[in-house]
Amino acid sequence: MAMEKSRVLIVGGTGYIGRRIVAASLAEGHPTFVLLRPEIGLDIDKLQILLAFKAQGARLLD
């Protein structure tokens, strides 16, 4: 009997610890959701991090 993976919601996914939690969650195959702040589009570095997460399968929530 296969165990279902837990869904993971990460707040602060572009921060020092948050980035590592997102990466670990994705690596373990958990459905991973990252909450976005509306002003995130103004920070190119954070936007690039989020787009990389999206490419790896994370769902971005605003």
Check: CB of residue 28 under 8 Å from CB of residue 4.
Answer: no
Structural domain boundaries of the chain? 8-61
Tokens of 23: 């990466």
Contact 9, 33 (CB under 8 A): yes
DSSP 6: P
Architecture per CATH, domain 8-61, reads as 3-Layer(bba) Sandwich (3.50)
| pLDDT(55) > 70 | yes
pTM, full prediction? 0.86
Q: What is the pLDDT of residues 1-29, one digit of tens each?
A: 667 899 999 999 999 999 999 999 999 99
